[in-house]
Amino acid sequence: MKNIKYNYEMKRLLIATHNKGKLNEIKKGLKAFEERGLAVLSLNELNIAAKPEETGKTFEENSRLKAKFYGDMTKLAAIADDGGLIIPYLNNGPGVKSRRWPGYEATDEELIQYTLLHLKGVRVADRTAYLQTCLCFYNPVEEIFLCEEEKIKGRIAEKPIEHFTPGYPYRALFIVEKFNKYYDELTSLEHKQINHRLIASKRLVKRVKKYLIK
């Protein structure tokens, strides 16, 4: 492996998302490095509104694409993620099209109803589903990619929970197998145990720390 090139840019890390929930989850895994002088930045803080065309066929392909897009744009090390819902009964759909499943950028409510329509009358045994994510780190200095994937097993309910987290429509229907509860019913402790993005980010951080802190 090449010698790692350290400069002031490696003291800064971009979390390449506009989603505040995702940003906070990933930052939790970086807390120790922030305390050691790593500046964690967001797209909003840098006033970046541009978005790459997500042409990947897998979550990893899209997360790599986004990390490289924003890393090359800012010349900063970047972490990006991509993820969504996997339903084996529906040929692993919606997959990478989770937000655009109907063929356009759908609202939370539209996605909830679209999912229920596709599973209308389907028995419980065939409603197995996974919430999956892939986080990728990109170092523009050495052009290095490191990725981690994680998923949560559950099933799709026959009706949505009454109150759900805006921006996360599938959680309104997703019953976590480990606790047999809707995702949005989980306590903070339960959520911490199964939070796929947090778990993946902690694993990723262990691998990328040498590129961030000298």
Q: Is residue 1 part of a domain?
A: no
Q: Is residue 65 part of a domain?
A: yes
What pLDDT does 184 receive?
A: 92
Q: Is residue 114 part of a domain?
A: yes
- Decide if pLDDT at 213 tops 70: no
143-168 pLDDT per residue, tens: 889 999 999 999 999 999 988 888 88
Confirm if 42 and 26 have CB atoms less than 8 A apart: no
- Decide if pLDDT at 25 tops 90: no
**Residues 165, 168: Cα–Cα separation, whole Å:** 6
Q: Is residue 94 part of a domain?
A: yes
Active site residues: 82
- In the chain, % of residues over pLDDT 90: 68
Which residues are CB-neighbours of 83 under 8 A, at least 6 positions away? 59, 98, 131, 132, 133, 134, 196, 197
Q: Is residue 2 part of a domain?
A: no
Which residues are CB-neighbours of 164 under 8 A, at least 6 positions away? 108, 171, 172, 184
7-16 pLDDT per residue, tens: 334 588 999 9
Q: What is the pTM of this model?
A: 0.87
What pLDDT does 202 receive?
A: 85
DSSP summary character for residue 7? -
Cβ neighbourhood burial of 117 (10 Å; 0-12, 13-18, 19+): exposed
Q: Is residue 42 part of a domain?
A: yes
What pLDDT does 4 receive?
A: 36
What pLDDT does 5 receive?
A: 42
Which residues are CB-neighbours of 160 under 8 A, at least 6 positions away? 112, 116, 172, 173
- Decide if pLDDT at 110 tops 80: yes
What are the start-end ranges of the H helices in 3-144? 20-28, 31-34, 59-74, 108-118
What pLDDT does 30 receive?
A: 80
Which residues are CB-neighbours of 91 under 8 A, at least 6 positions away? none
DSSP summary character for residue 155? E
Q: Is residue 199 part of a domain?
A: yes
Q: 54: closest CA among 43, 39, 64, 41?
A: 64
Per the structure, how many domains does the chain have? 1
- Decide if pLDDT at 3 tops 50: no
The CA-atom distances, in angstroms, between 82 and each of 64, 95, 136 are 9, 10, 9
Confirm if 33 and 205 have CB atoms less than 8 A apart: yes
**Residues 160, 119: Cα–Cα separation, whole Å:** 13
Residue, of 129 and 2, whose pLDDT is higher: 129
CATH code of the domain covering residue 119: 3.90.950.10
Q: 135: closest CA among 92, 213, 53, 195?
A: 195
Mean pLDDT value across the chain:
89
Q: Is residue 200 part of a domain?
A: yes
Residue range(s) defining the domain that contains residue 18: 8-212
